Amino acid sequence: MTVAQTDNDTNGERIGAAAHAEVEHPSSAVVRFGADRPLDLDSGGKLSPVQIAYQTYGTLNAARSNAILVCHALTGDQHVANEHPVTGKPGWWSLMIGPGRPIDTDLYFVICSNVLGGCMGSTGPASINPQTGKPYALDLPVITVRDMVRAQAMLLDHLGIETLFAATGGSMGGMQVLQWAASFPDRLFAAIPIATGSRHSSQNIAFHEVGRQAILADPDWCGGSYLEAGKNPHKGLAVARMAAHITYMSDEALHRKFGRSLQDRDALTFGFDADFQIESYLRHQGMTFVDRFDANAYLYMTRAMDYFDLALDYDGQLAKAFAGCHTRFCCVSFTSDWLFPTAENRTIVHALNAAGANVSFVEVETDRGHDAFLLDEPELFTTVTGFLKAAARIRGLS
Amino acid sequence: MTTEMQLRTMAADPSRVDLKIIAGFVTPGARVLDIGCGDGALLMQLSEEKNVDARGIELSQKGVNEAVASGLSVIQGDADSDLATYPDKAFDFAILSQTIQATHNPRIVLEELLRIGEKAIVSFPNFGHWRIRTQFLLAGRMPVNKNLPYSWYDTPNIHFFTIRDFIELVDEVGATIEDSIALHGRGRKIAPTVSRQIWNLFGEQAVFVLSRPNSSKS
């Protein structure tokens, strides 16, 4: 047990170092925008320089009309359909994206960039602040979903892609998709926002706040300057991840997977070790997460989601965000998702209806909760396949 | 392939002859909303034959998934709760086929159809058909037939009405009947010249095309 723990720690440190190396020198394509191309931020300032790390799959056609932007969620990154350079695991959406998959890389040119404020190569709080030569930490201005989308638009300009055939993503990725439709309707032919909301609910902000407080309460957080101090607030970040992870699953799925089963033991220990499998599972989720994710980036990402309220920019009327939008939408929700329940997704659909937009909406029956969008859900795949095929036909791609 | 199969299924089902009649009322290139569109067979037919801008609403997840997967724009929802979000006259035709009897508030649904559609096309089974009347009179049982195939305890049809009842509702909401057709069994049309009393007795189902300018709505 002790030996295994030590191995784990060494392994974790190795992965942690690899993850940190990704911040400045990612195992991805990179574009750097210098002082001549500052990024306007919602908080008022400008960010410069800006680095965007991204992955692409498939081939851009001659007309540059077959690009699909994939927007990642809170703890995702650009490694959507390739082996992860740090963890060695398959890409987080490799079931959805690839040759012959719903987002077929034989047909489409898929782009996924690490969001602004992230920690896998795009400018974020772990990046070096050129003015100080030290990591930004909390000196990085707070980033919003709209800032992330602006950065993605800069990347597309750089790649010479005027119009996206489609944008898709779940959760925070879905927020970016909605923001794309609102900010750049003429650059987006089709949109597939999945398991998302037009704003972050009070309950969701509450869960995020618990996570942030766990990080802030970790003495190794060092007021945000833990990288300089050579520390890592892994305990706080792990607790944040554990709390969040519960919200990604459903009661039913937890019961099905773990029930009240005990972990490697026949009886309760009458102590505070991980007696139950669910405890062990959550601890594992927390431990593996801290090795690949930056604590400050977690603060920034959660804040971006909390601040997201698309209607706010449009007199509180969500439909106005989509006024005159010719994008074809396909919204998807999951029956057991209580983080972004069907009602939240339906609000988007109703706003799109009110705006006269072309919208489809599918609620997928599953007991796997919010995380269902990442999992093997045949109804999701059928829907995305069919929607994209029809859109491609109308777009003249096939 | 799927579309052809759907159309064949549609054509082979004489009780859904109303769909062909409805399709006949829709003008090419129109904006169409089919409420309760099932797997989207009518929308598919209208898109292919008349190049309409086809949208649908369907309650069953299976229907929605099939329709979206076949490339139609369909949302999961129902006539009672999802019509309110559409703007006035958002569609040239708002279609409600064989569904109004299953809504909770048929009058509100009808008014919503008239609000969001330049024209509303409504088809429904006629509870006043002579066979239903005799079945009820002689057997003393709630009628079960091919248009109303459910027992009373499991039927989704919660409002039963006749052609005459429907016309009365149309009057009440101040709508105009632009066109109407009543159908015998096996889908033959009843002569439009005969009285509505005759329609009510011999029509197994009916299709009405209605309109109402929005200004008349309070």
Beta-carbon neighbour count of residue A222 at 10 Å? 16
Q: For residue range B155-207, list pLDDT tens digits in order.
A: 989 999 999 999 999 999 999 999 999 998 777 888 888 888 899 999 999 99
Does the pLDDT value for residue B13 go beyond 80? no
d(CA B167, CA B163) in angstroms, rounded, equals 6
Per-residue pLDDT tens for A61-114?
999 999 999 999 999 999 999 999 999 999 999 999 999 999 999 999 999 999
Question: Does residue A396 carry a pLDDT above 80?
Answer: yes
Cβ–Cβ contact A353 with B under 8 A: yes
Q: How far is B81 from chain A (nearest CA, A)?
A: 10
| Pairwise CB contact (< 8 Å): A386 & B55 | no
Arithmetic mean of pLDDT, A35-62: 97
Tell the residue number behind the tokens 């105009």, with chain if given. B176
B17 versus A82: the higher-pLDDT residue is A82
Q: List the single residue in A with minimal CA-CA distance to B53.
A: A358
Cβ-defined contact of A360 to B68 (cutoff 8 Å) = yes
Q: What six digits make up the tokens of A383?
A: 């829907």
- What 8-state DSSP symbol labels residue A276? B
pLDDT of residue A128: 96
CB contact under 8 A, B73 and A385: no
pLDDT at A217: 98
A360–B74 C-beta distance less than 8 A: yes
The pLDDT of residue A8: 53
Nearest C-alpha in B relative to A348? B85
Q: Is the pLDDT of residue B1 over 60?
A: no
Residue B218 burial (10 A CB sphere; 0-12, 13-18, 19+): exposed
* pLDDT band at residue A7 under the 50/70/90 scheme: low
Least confident residue range of A88-102, A367-381, B7-21, B119-133: B7-21
In angstroms, what separates the C-alpha of B51 from chain A's closest C-alpha? 12
Exposure class string for B14-43: b at 16+ Cβ within 10 A, else e: ebbbbbebbbebbeeebbbbbbbbbbbbbb
Handedness of CA A255, A256, A260, A264 (dihedral sign): negative
For A162-197, give one letter per residue: b (16+ CB within 10 A) or e: eebbbbbbbbbbbbbbbbbbbbbbebbbbbbbbbbb
Which tokens sit at A101? 């998959």
B73 to chain A, any CB pair closer than 8 A? The answer is yes
Mean pLDDT of chain B: 89
Domains and CATH numbers, chain A: 24-395 (3.40.50.1820)
Among partner residues B70, B77, B86, which is closest to A386 by beta-carbon distance?
B70
Residue of chain B with shortest Cα separation from A387: B71
Statement: residue B216 has pLDDT above 70: no
**pLDDT for position B16:** 78
Mutation target among A192, A362, A388 for the B interface, most CBs of B within 10 A: A362
- How many Å lie between the alpha carbon of B99 and the closest alpha carbon of chain A? 20
pLDDT at A278 over 60: yes
- Three-state DSSP class for B44? helix
pLDDT band at B143 (very low <50, low <70, confident <90, very high): confident
What's the ipTM?
Answer: 0.85
Nearest to A172 by CA among A137, A208, A122: A208
Q: Which residue has the tokens 């009780």?
A: B15
Taking the C-alpha atoms of residue A76 and residue A82, their distance in angstroms, rounded to an integer, is 13
Task: Give the catalytic positions of A in this structure.
Answer: 171, 337, 370
Going along chain B from its start, the domains and CATH numbers come out as 2-210 (3.40.50.150)
Nearest to B68 among A346, A349, A386 (CB): A386
Give residue A10's pLDDT.
Answer: 65
pLDDT, position A368: 97
Provide, as residue numbers in chain B, all residues whose Cβ is less than 8 Å from the Cβ of A386.
Answer: 68-71
pLDDT exceeds 90 at position A41: yes
Q: How confident is the model at residue A2 (pLDDT cuts 50, 70, 90)?
A: very low
> ∠ CA(A363), CA(A364), CA(A368), 5° rounding?
125
* pLDDT at A59 > cutoff 60: yes
B19 alpha-carbon distance from chain centroid: 8
* Two structure tokens written together for A42: 């919602």
For all residues of chain A together, what is the average pLDDT? 95
B89-110 core/surface letters (b: 16 or more CB in 10 A; e: else): bbbbbbbbbbbbbbbeebeebb
Q: How confident is the model at residue B9 (pLDDT cuts 50, 70, 90)?
A: very low
Please tell me the total number of residues recorded for chain B in this structure. Answer: 218
Beta-bridged to residue B170, according to DSSP, are: none
> Do B127 and B100 touch, CB atoms closer than 8 A?
no
| B95 inside 8 A of chain A by CB | no
User: Which helix (H) or strand (E) covers residue A67, if one does?
Assistant: strand A67-70
The distance of B66 to chain A (nearest Cα, Å) reads 8
Predicted confidence at residue B194, as pLDDT, reads: 85
Residue-wise pLDDT for A189-237, tens only, equals 999 999 999 999 999 999 999 999 999 999 999 999 999 999 999 999 9
Q: With CB atoms and an 8 Å threshold, state whether A365 touches B85.
A: no
Q: pLDDT (tens digit, 9 = 90+) per residue, A168-197?
A: 999 999 999 999 999 999 999 999 999 999
The distance from CA B108 to its chain's CA centroid, rounded to whole angstroms, is 15
Predicted pLDDT at B11: 44
B33 has a chain A CB within 8 A of its CB: no
Q: Does B64 touch chain A (CB under 8 A)?
A: yes
Contact between A379 and B65 using a beta-carbon 8 Å cutoff = yes
